[in-house]
């Protein structure tokens, strides 16, 4: 079920009313309702894959209890590896089987050895990359004795399958989200208001910014051989705002929806395009994933301990693995490696934690130096997104070579260009609103709080109006559903 559909617009109010008015605020009944709602939400796409979530839930719940009752280190490691192999095994089969098979066959063909093999017609279960990492964080933290395992199976099932963030995050930690299923929850009007505002802003990002950028980005990338370098630059810019509006929009809707039910999810995006270097960008982009890799891969590899060569090695590993996590395609591995190359000079010079505070925190405008740093970081990010969007490495290299050709100075022109010009106004307006609201959890969280009610409601009405008139007729899935 997509957030930007009439199905969800009907589903959410029904679940909300049942949750607060038909459960008598009974925690266990609320959790049962959330499990049922989450399974309906996920099964709406393909009910057959509910068995994967249920099996993963049973395995990690059982492993957690086994770790609590086991003091033998060897047996504890065996339990942990059971969880890791089951979860990564499912993920590896559905997401990477064909990739490794095809590359295995191609590798042997280079030596003149022909191996017969054919790819399997495997459907990638929506959200598998997200909920497998979420359940893995639980068993790893229980193994390290950072948290106590729960005996409440319904609460644990709700934690694994919680529908707002089930298919595209944020990837929550058990230490944050699971305890919220184990305590009483009461309706708070203020939380609901903030949640609705965040949902509204998330829908605006997705429907108005991302979907309209996606339409023209797809035209340009799909026909890049026919367009000038200047047009391809515009295509890369459209995709840059598409992926941000799409993914951060999903996160906003997920976090806002969770608020309606009394839950607090972690912030997943913190205005990353205002970053002054790549290190800051990765502290603000897909925060739940980058911190997951930091805690469960980078630190176990040795983190920042040891010499500089070891730190460089660990950094390269997490960026490349992060790229591969997104999709089984060499373009994503190159994208991850490219970001590692951007990051390494900051690491070597020990400037990777130079920009912690949000830019221009105590002023209205950035300094010229900050603005230059933001623009440079943004340009590097746009360049890297070309590999993320391209069909393959050859497509990416052809796209880039055209940008750096003399056609870079040609007039922008592509099919539908006159309709795309509306984005010349929408994107700058969007950037201005994000800049004004950059100190909040989301852009319009605090905008208008001191205004008189009619003006505040006018702001929300304008956003709803823009969503209504600029929504594309076809339902556009969220980008990260494919990951």
Annotated active-site positions, please?
Answer: 326
Angle subtended by helix axes 153-161 and 50-68, to nearest 10 = 130
The answer to whether the beta carbons of residues 403 and 229 sit under 8 Å apart is yes
Q: How many residues does the chain have?
A: 483
Cα separation, 9 vs 263, in Å, equals 20
The answer to whether the beta carbons of residues 276 and 378 sit under 8 Å apart is no
Whole-angstrom distance between the N-terminal and C-terminal Cα of the chain?
16
- Kindly list the distances between the CA atom of residue 220 and the CA atoms of 216, 290, 301, 414, in Å, as whole numbers in the listed order: 6, 30, 41, 7
Cα separation, 288 vs 280, in Å, equals 15
DSSP-derived secondary structure letter, 17: H
The token pair at 174 is 């058990």
Residue with tokens 């230059």: 372
Angle at 217 between CA 216 and CA 219, to 5 degrees: 65
Cα separation, 39 vs 140, in Å, equals 25
Residues 6 or more apart whose CB falls under 8 angstroms from that of 152 comprise: 31, 181, 182
């Amino acid at each position: 079920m997509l957030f930007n559909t009439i199905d969800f617009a009907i589903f959410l109010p029904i679940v909300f009313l049942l949750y607060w008015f038909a459960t008598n605020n009974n925690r266990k009944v609320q959790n049962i309702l959330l499990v049922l709602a989450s399974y309906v939400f996920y099964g709406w796409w393909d009910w057959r894959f509910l068995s994967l979530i249920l099996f993963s839930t049973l395995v990690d719940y059982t492993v957690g209890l086994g770790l609590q009752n086991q003091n033998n280190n060897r047996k504890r490691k065996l339990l942990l590896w059971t969880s890791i192999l089951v979860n990564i095994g499912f993920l590896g089969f559905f997401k990477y089987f064909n990739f490794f098979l095809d590359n295995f066959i191609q590798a042997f063909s280079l030596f003149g050895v022909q191996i017969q093999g054919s790819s399997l017609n495997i459907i990638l279960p929506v959200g598998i990359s997200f909920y497998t990492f979420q359940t893995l964080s639980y068993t790893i933290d229980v193994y390290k004795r950072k948290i106590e395992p729960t005996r409440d199976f319904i609460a644990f099932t709700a934690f694994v399958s919680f529908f707002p963030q089930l298919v595209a995050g944020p990837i929550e930690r058990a230490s944050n989200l699971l305890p919220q299923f184990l305590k009483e929850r009461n309706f708070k009007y203020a939380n609901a208001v903030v949640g609705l505002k965040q949902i509204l802003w998330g829908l605006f990002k997705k429907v108005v910014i991302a979907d309209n950028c996606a339409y023209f980005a797809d035209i340009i990338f799909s026909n890049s051989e026919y367009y000038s370098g200047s047009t391809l630059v515009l295509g890369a810019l459209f995709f840059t705002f598409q992926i941000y509006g799409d993914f951060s929009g999903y996160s906003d809707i997920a976090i806002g929806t969770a608020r309606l039910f009394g839950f607090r999810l972690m912030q997943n995006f913190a205005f990353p395009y205002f970053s002054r270097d790549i290190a800051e960008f990765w502290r603000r982009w897909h925060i739940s994933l980058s911190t997951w890799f930091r805690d469960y891969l980078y630190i176990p590899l040795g983190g920042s301990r040891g010499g500089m060569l070891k730190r460089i090695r660990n950094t390269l590993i997490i960026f490349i693995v992060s790229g591969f996590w997104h999709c089984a395609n060499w373009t994503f591995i190159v994208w991850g490696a490219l970001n590692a190359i951007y990051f390494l000079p900051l690491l070597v010079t020990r400037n990777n934690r130079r920009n912690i505070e949000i830019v221009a925190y105590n002023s209205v405008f950035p300094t010229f130096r900050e603005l230059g740093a933001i623009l440079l970081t943004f340009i590097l990010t746009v360049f890297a997104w070309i590999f993320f969007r391209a069909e393959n490495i050859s497509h990416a290299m052809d796209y880039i070579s055209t940008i750096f050709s003399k056609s870079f100075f040609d007039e922008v022109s592509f099919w539908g260009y006159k309709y795309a010009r509306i984005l010349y106004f929408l994107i700058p307006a969007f950037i201005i609103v994000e800049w004004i609201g950059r100190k909040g959890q989301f852009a319009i969280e605090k905008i208008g709080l001191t205004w008189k009610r009619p003006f505040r409601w006018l702001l929300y009405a304008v956003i709803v109006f823009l969503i209504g008139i600029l929504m594309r007729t076809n339902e556009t899935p969220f980008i990260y559903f494919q990951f």
